[in-house]
């Protein structure tokens, strides 16, 4: 019985010694494999691009370049055009599309050109347009009426205010105040009381009536309108009509 126990103990001790050696072998083998793997990874040569890889890369780069070029072209196209409102004495008033950098005369041509009654005296047809501009071409009657409304004041301001406010290419006319006499005639819209008395049939009282009428009713549009002043009838007008002007 004792002999058997000693035998079991010896066998158990031998098993432990073998197990320890086996564990050491496994650990050493694992470390060796790890080192070999690291060496292979570190010293592995860089992968060279094949023709297929190069073609694929070129397609990606070309695609990106095409997209960028398309975006730039869209921006340039959007900035290459402007929209302008053309109205007034043109054949076909409308909102038109023009190339960026176009001028007033380009807009007028695209709107069919000028009508026969167009007044371009106060338009700068060489002015450069920008997006959203408005070009208004007045008729001769509109321009004349606006200037008459400005008599005794700034005709340029009146024309700008009544006809062409915010209109591209507009240049306000520089109009000097009308003289009291033109070719020897008295301007009944601008003459003072002393100047009016140079007219046949007009004394101090009538001169004051003319000035009072101008103040209340505005300037005379025609010389015949002076007959609206109290005390000046057809007979008196016949005597003075060759001496007066507006």
Average pLDDT on 214-233 reads 90
Give the closest residue to 178 by CA, choosing from 168, 186, 170.
Answer: 186
With bands split at pLDDT 50, 70 and 90, how would you rate the model's confidence at 2? low
> What per-residue confidence (pLDDT) applies to 162?
43
> What per-residue confidence (pLDDT) applies to 169?
55
> What per-residue confidence (pLDDT) applies to 82?
93
**What is the rounded distance in angstroms from the CA atom of residue 154 to the CA atom of residue 157?**
5
> What per-residue confidence (pLDDT) applies to 40?
76
DSSP the chain: -HHHHHHHHHHHHHHHHHHHHHHHHHHHHHHHHHHHHHHHHHHPPPPPPPHHHHHHHHHHHHHHHHHHHHHHHHHHHHHTEEEEEEEESBSS-EEEEEETT-BHHHHHHHTT-B-TTB--TTB-TTPBP-TT-EEEE-BHHHHHHHHHHTTTS-HHHHHHHHT-TTBTTB-----PPPPSEETTEEETTT--HHHHTTSTT--HHHHHHHHHHHHHH-S-SSGGGGGGSTT--HHHHHHHGGGEE-
**What is the rounded distance in angstroms from the CA atom of residue 156 to the CA atom of residue 6?**
134
Higher pLDDT, 121 or 243: 243
With bands split at pLDDT 50, 70 and 90, how would you rate the model's confidence at 33? confident
> What per-residue confidence (pLDDT) applies to 122?
73
Beta-carbon count within 10 A of 225 CB = 16
Farthest CA pair distance, the chain? 173
Q: What are the sequence ranges of the domains in the chain? A: 2-77, 80-162, 181-245
Summary mean pLDDT of the chain: 74
* Model pLDDT for residues 164-198, shown as the tens digit of each residue: 444 555 554 444 444 444 567 999 999 998 889 99
> What per-residue confidence (pLDDT) applies to 6?
66
Q: Which neighbouring-strand residues pair with 245?
A: 187
> What per-residue confidence (pLDDT) applies to 10?
67
Higher pLDDT, 75 or 131: 131
Task: Report whether 189 contacts 152 (CB < 8 A).
Answer: yes
**What is the rounded distance in angstroms from the CA atom of residue 151 to the CA atom of residue 176?**
10
Quote the crossing angle between the two packed helices 155-162 and 140-149, to the nearest 10°.
130
**What is the rounded distance in angstroms from the CA atom of residue 135 to the CA atom of residue 114?**
12
> What per-residue confidence (pLDDT) applies to 228?
93
| pLDDT(52) > 60 | no
Average pLDDT on 36-63 reads 60
The pTM assigned to this predicted structure is 0.39
Higher pLDDT, 87 or 39: 87
| pLDDT(102) > 90 | yes
| pLDDT(131) > 70 | yes
Looking at the domain covering 181-245, what would its CATH class be?
A: mainly alpha
CATH code of the domain occupying 80-162: 3.10.560
| pLDDT(7) > 50 | yes
Average pLDDT on 108-113 reads 94
* Model pLDDT for residues 225-242, shown as the tens digit of each residue: 999 999 899 999 999 999
């Amino acid at each position: 019985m004792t002999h058997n126990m000693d035998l079991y103990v010896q066998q158990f001790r031998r098993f432990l010694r073998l197990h320890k050696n086996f564990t050491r072998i496994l650990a050493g083998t694992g470390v060796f494999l790890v080192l070999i793997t690291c060496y292979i990874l570190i010293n592995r040569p860089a992968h060279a691009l094949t023709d297929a890889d190069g073609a694929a890369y070129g397609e990606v780069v070309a695609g990106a370049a095409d997209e960028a070029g398309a975006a730039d072209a869209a921006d340039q196209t959007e900035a290459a055009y402007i929209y302008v409102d053309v109205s007034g004495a043109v054949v076909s008033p409308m909102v038109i599309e023009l190339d960026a950098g176009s001028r007033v005369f380009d807009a007028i041509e695209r709107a069919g050109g000028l009508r026969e009654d167009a007044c371009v005296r106060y338009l700068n047809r060489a002015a450069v347009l920008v997006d959203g501009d408005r070009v208004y071409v007045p008729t001769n009657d509109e321009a004349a009426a606006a200037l008459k409304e400005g008599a005794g004041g700034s005709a340029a301001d009146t024309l700008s205010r009544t006809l062409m406010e915010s209109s591209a290419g507009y240049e306000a006319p520089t109009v000097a105040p009308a003289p009291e006499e033109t070719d020897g005639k008295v301007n009944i819209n601008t003459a003072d009381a002393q100047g009016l008395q140079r007219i046949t049939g007009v004394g101090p009282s009538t001169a004051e009536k003319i000035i009072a009428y101008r103040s209340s009713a505005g300037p005379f549009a025609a010389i015949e309108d002076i007959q609206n002043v109290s005390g000046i009838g057809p007979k008196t007008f016949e005597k003075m009509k060759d001496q007066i002007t507006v």
